[in-house]
Chains A and B, each alone.
Chain A
Amino acid sequence: MKSLTLRGWVTLVVLVALALLPVFVSMTGREFFLVLATRLVILAIAAVSLNLILGYGRMISFGHAAYLGIGAYAVGIPVYYEIYNGFIHIGIAVVVSAAFAFLTGLVCLRTRGVNFIMITMAFSMMVFFAFVSIEEYGGDDGLVIEVRSEFGQWVNLENDTVLYYVCFVSLLGILYLIRRIVHSRFGMVIQGARGNEARMQSLGFDTFRYRLVCYVIAGALCGYAGALLGNFTSFISPEMMDWTRSGELIFMVVLGGTSSLFGPVLGAGLFILLEEILSGFWLYWQLIFGIFLILVVLFAKGGIDSWLGRRPER
Chain B
Amino acid sequence: MDESVILGIKDLYKSFGGVAATNGLTLDVLEREVHAVIGPNGAGKTTLVSQLTGVVLPDAGQVVFRGRDITRMPAYRRPHLGMARSFQITSIIHDMTVLENVVLAVQAKAGHSYRFWESAIIDDQLTEPAMRALTQVGLETEAMQVAGPLSHGEHRQLELAMVLATDPELVLLDEPTAGMGREDSTRMVSMLESLKGSRTIILVEHDMDAVFALADRITVMVEGRAIATGTPDVIRADRLVREAYLGEDINTAIKSARET
Please list the residues of chain A having a beta carbon within 8 angstroms of any beta carbon in chain B: 180-181, 183-189, 191-192, 195-196, 198-207, 210, 213, 313-314
A206 and B115 contact, Cβ closer than 8 Å, known pairs A195-B93, A195-B96, A196-B92: no
B79 touches A199 (CB 8 A): no
B72-114 vs A, Cβ < 8 Å mask (1 yes, 0 no):
0011111110001101000111111000100111011100011
Among A183, A186, A188, A313, residue most surrounded by chain B Cβ atoms (within 10 Å): A188
A183 and B121 contact, Cβ closer than 8 Å, known pairs A201-B76, A204-B108: yes
- B85, B96, B105: which contacts A191 (Cβ < 8 A)? B96
Nearest-neighbor residue (CB-CB) of A191 within chain B = B96
- B85, B100, B121: which contacts A202 (Cβ < 8 A)? B85
- A180, A181, A204, A213: which contacts B76 (Cβ < 8 A)? A204
Interface SS majority for chain A: helix
Which A residues are in CB contact (< 8 Å) with B78? 204
Which B residues are in CB contact (< 8 Å) with A206? 74, 76-77
B162 touches A188 (CB 8 A): no
Which A residues are in CB contact (< 8 Å) with B53? 202
Kindly provide the distance from the CB of B181 to the nearest chain A CB, expressed in whole angstroms.
24
A205 and B113 contact, Cβ closer than 8 Å, known pairs A184-B119, A188-B103, A200-B104: yes
A184 and B96 contact, Cβ closer than 8 Å, known pairs A201-B76, A204-B109: no
Which B residues are in CB contact (< 8 Å) with A207? 76
A180 touches B87 (CB 8 A): no
B120 within 8 A of partner (CB): yes
The 8 closest A-B pairs by CB, nearest first: A204-B79, A195-B93, A204-B108, A203-B108, A185-B113, A183-B119, A185-B115, A199-B91
Given contact pairs A188-B107, A202-B84, A314-B146, a sample of 6 additional A-B residue pairs in the complex whose CB atoms are under 8 Å apart: A180-B117, A186-B114, A188-B113, A191-B95, A199-B91, A202-B75
Which B residues are in CB contact (< 8 Å) with A201? 75-76
Report the Cα distance A200→B166, complex, angstroms.
Answer: 12
B window 102-149: CB within 8 A of A = 103-105, 107-109, 113-121, 123, 126, 146
13 A-B pairs within 8 Å (CB atoms) are namely A183-B119, A184-B120, A185-B107, A185-B114, A186-B113, A186-B114, A191-B95, A192-B96, A202-B55, A202-B75, A203-B162, A204-B108, A210-B113
B window 141-164: CB within 8 A of A = 146, 162
Report the Cα distance A202→B75, complex, angstroms.
Answer: 6
A184 and B92 contact, Cβ closer than 8 Å, known pairs A192-B104, A202-B53, A205-B76: no
Report the Cα distance A177→B84, complex, angstroms.
Answer: 34
Nearest-neighbor residue (CB-CB) of B94 within chain A = A195
Which A residues are in CB contact (< 8 Å) with B109? 204
Nearest-neighbor residue (CB-CB) of B126 within chain A = A185
A183 touches B120 (CB 8 A): yes
Report the Cα distance A181→B126, complex, angstroms.
Answer: 17
Kindly provide the distance from the CB of A31 to the nearest chain B CB, expressed in whole angstroms.
39
Which A residues are in CB contact (< 8 Å) with B104? 188-189, 192, 200, 203, 205
Report the Cα distance A96→B42, complex, angstroms.
Answer: 53
Nearest-neighbor residue (CB-CB) of A213 within chain B = B114
Kindly provide the distance from the CB of A311 to the nearest chain B CB, expressed in whole angstroms.
9
Which B residues are in CB contact (< 8 Å) with A204? 76-80, 108-109, 166
Report the Cα distance A196→B101, complex, angstroms.
Answer: 11
- A184, A192, A199, A202: which contacts B115 (Cβ < 8 A)? A184
Which B residues are in CB contact (< 8 Å) with A188? 100, 103-104, 107, 113, 120-121
